[in-house]
Structure 1
Amino acid sequence: MKVIGITGGVGAGKSFILDYLKNNYGAKLLIADEIGHQVMKKGTTGYEMILKAFTSKILDNQGEISRPILAEIIFSDLEKREILNKIIHPLVKSYIQAEIENFRKIEEIKLVVVEAALLIEDHYETICDEFWYIYTKNEIRKQRLKLSRGYSEEKIEAIFASQASEEMFRKNCSVVIDNNLMPNEVYHQIDLIMKNREES
């Protein structure tokens, strides 16, 4: 079983790549952001730890943690972002490790793809066989975030500033997917990579 880690900046189109790997190569997907939702739900250890660190001002009407409120806080305050990361990321990583071990017991599963913005910083090389960087130009990423999420220029710049640089991604990833191209051209890149993996 091969475990591929996929990373890249916000708005790079990672979901597009994940869908293709799932639909065409039967990949099992482990998406850190989605798992992050699970580990901070009411009643979990993560919920209690975040509530203690950030107080009840982050809760919505149902008593759940409001992700938009939390996002506003952490993207404008580096110290608070680091506090949240120290709570969430170990919980997410443990969840992913456990899921991978479960997948290893199922013979039919040949490919697992882990998607996380902080694969490099959180040392997922201990879990993944290789890292793929999804590269998309900043201007395209900005357009996507404005259209799909309604983010302001200021918010986008703050998010970009909080993430790893292109140089860091390229330095630490053995595969770079150019996601500035037409869909069929992107698919062709993936098909060639997967074909080479099968032959090696």
Structure 2
Amino acid sequence: MIIGVYGYIGAGKTSTCEYLQNKYHFTYLNADKIAKEIMQEPTVLLFLEQTFPGIVINGVLNRERLRKIIFTNPLANNKLNNYLWPKVNQQIITIINNNPNQKFLIEAIGLSTLALSFTTKIFITANKKNIITRINARDQQSSEQIEQLLKIQANFFKQIKPDYKVTTKKSLLELYQELDKIMEDILGDEQ
């Protein structure tokens, strides 16, 4: 069983996945964390330096500078995604193939770029004001940068038809109750 969780930055994907992992004993793979690990590989750093000059200094990726570029430039975002996501996809497939008896929960904004057969896809969203507030608090990004990133992400989501849509509000308890209903539907008697 492979459940894909995707949605806007700051919508509550990680909270969703951590809850499902703990309560329903899924193996949780966060594609963004895998991507960050891959971005430390020498060949990837070389690609980043050649594609975005000045982004790697003394072998160290300047994540803040990269974030600004990909938050504000859709073409740069596409270039990075086209290079990086096949590598992320391969790593996830390797993990799944090496653990055939596990149930997997995969969090990925770019869910549509992963060559996987998902049992279920859950879209996590929130109203724009809540997303901007959460990201401002967490990442100290400007509202303009966040708005631009939300537009870029919206293009990813057009290609994916979710099986379930969850709109997060303020209460984690409400989120968990909604997730429990979804899991009851997905798992049925397997719970």
Compute the TM-score of the two structures, normalised by the length of structure 2.
Answer: 0.89
The match for 2:131 is 141
1:30 maps to a residue whose letter is L
1:37 maps to a residue whose letter is K
Q: Percent identity?
A: 25
The match for 2:118 is 128
The match for 2:172 is 183
Partner residue of 1:150 out of 140, 153, 169: 140
Instruction: For 2:61 and 2:156, locate their aligned partners in 1 and report how far apart those are by CA, in whole Å.
Output: 31
Please state how far the C-alpha of 1:86 moved relative to its aligned partner: 1.2
SS in 1 for 2:20: helix
Please state how far the C-alpha of 1:133 moved relative to its aligned partner: 0.3
**Does 33-42 or 176-185 show the bigger shift?**
176-185
Instruction: For 1:89 and 1:167, locate their aligned partners in 2 and report how far apart those are by CA, in whole Å.
Output: 15
Query: Residues 89, 47 of structure 1: CA spacing in aligned structure 2 closer, same or farther, 3 A cutoff?
Result: same
1:53 aligns with 2:42: no
1:99 aligns with 2:99: no
Work out whether residues 30 and 114 of structure 1, in 8 Å CA contact, stay in contact via their aligned partners in 2: yes
Alignment of 1:185-200 (within 5 A): 185-199=174-188
Please state how far the C-alpha of 1:167 moved relative to its aligned partner: 7.6
Alignment of 1:1-200 (within 5 A): 2-43=1-42, 45-55=43-53, 57-60=54-57, 62-104=58-100, 107=101, 109=102, 111-120=103-112, 122=113, 124=114, 126-164=116-154, 168=158, 172-180=161-169, 182-199=171-188
Instruction: For 1:166 and 1:138, locate their aligned partners in 2 and report how far apart those are by CA, in whole Å.
Output: 17
Instruction: For 1:5 and 1:138, locate their aligned partners in 2 and report how far apart those are by CA, in whole Å.
Output: 22
Gaps of 5+ in 1: none
Query: Residues 172, 92 of structure 1: CA spacing in aligned structure 2 closer, same or farther, 3 A cutoff?
Result: same
Instruction: For 1:72 and 1:125, locate their aligned partners in 2 and report how far apart those are by CA, in whole Å.
Output: 28
Gaps of 5+ in 2: none
RMSD (Å), alpha carbons:
2.1
Instruction: After superposition, give the CA deviation of every residue in 1:113-132 in whole Å (9 maximum; x if it has no partner).
Output: 11111113x1x363322210
Instruction: After superposition, give the CA deviation of every residue in 1:98-154 in whole Å (9 maximum; x if it has no partner).
Output: 1111121xx3x2x2111111113x1x3633222100121111111111112211111
Work out whether residues 42 and 63 of structure 1, in 8 Å CA contact, stay in contact via their aligned partners in 2: no
Compute the TM-score of the two structures, normalised by the length of structure 1.
Answer: 0.85
Aligned residues: 189
Work out whether residues 135 and 180 of structure 1, in 8 Å CA contact, stay in contact via their aligned partners in 2: no
